[in-house]
C-alpha cells in the first residue's frame, strides 16, 4: 500500500525506546529510505516553519517526516533552500 500511494509519514522516533524492543533505528528508517523516501526534521527558523533533510546518524528523540520525492512539490514552501 505504501509503495502504491506514497503517503507522507509523520513519525515520532525514539532510538532508545526502539532498542528496548530489539529494533534498530536503521530498521525503521531503512524501510522508508529503501523505497526512495527522504527523512526530514521540522522546525521553526526565524518565525517560518521549515523542513530540513536529516541523516539517519543525526536522528535523536523527536518527530520526523518521511516524504517520497514524488510528493515533495506538496511541501515546496516548507523545504529548506540554500
Burial (Cβ within 10 Å: 0-12, 13-18, ≥19) of residue 27: exposed
Please check the confidence at residue 16 and state whether its pLDDT lies above 70. Answer: yes
- Tens-place pLDDT, residues 43-72: 998 899 999 999 999 999 999 999 999 999
Least confident of 3-7, 25-29, 32-36, 57-61: 3-7
Question: What's the predicted TM-score (pTM) here?
Answer: 0.89
Q: What is the mean pLDDT of the chain?
A: 93
C-alpha cell at 38: 527522504
C-alpha 37/C-alpha 5 separation (Å) is 12
Answer yes or no: is pLDDT of 81 > 70.
Answer: no
Question: Sorting pLDDT into bands at 50, 70 and 90, what band is 2?
Answer: confident
Among 35, 36, 11, which residue's Cα sits nearest to residue 25? 11
Amino acid at each position: 500500500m505504501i509503495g502504491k500511494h506514497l503517503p507522507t509519514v509523520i513519525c515520532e522516533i525514539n532510538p532508545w525506546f526502539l532498542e528496548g524492543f530489539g529494533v534498530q533505528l536503521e530498521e525503521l528508517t531503512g524501510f522508508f529510505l529503501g523505497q526512495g523516501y527522504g527523512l526530514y526534521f521540522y522546525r521553526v527558523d526565524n518565525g517560518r516553519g521549515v523542513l530540513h533533510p536529516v541523516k539517519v546518524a543525526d536522528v535523536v528523540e523527536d518527530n520526523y517526516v518521511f516524504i517520497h520525492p514524488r510528493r515533495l512539490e506538496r511541501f515546496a514552501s516548507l523545504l529548506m533552500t540554500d
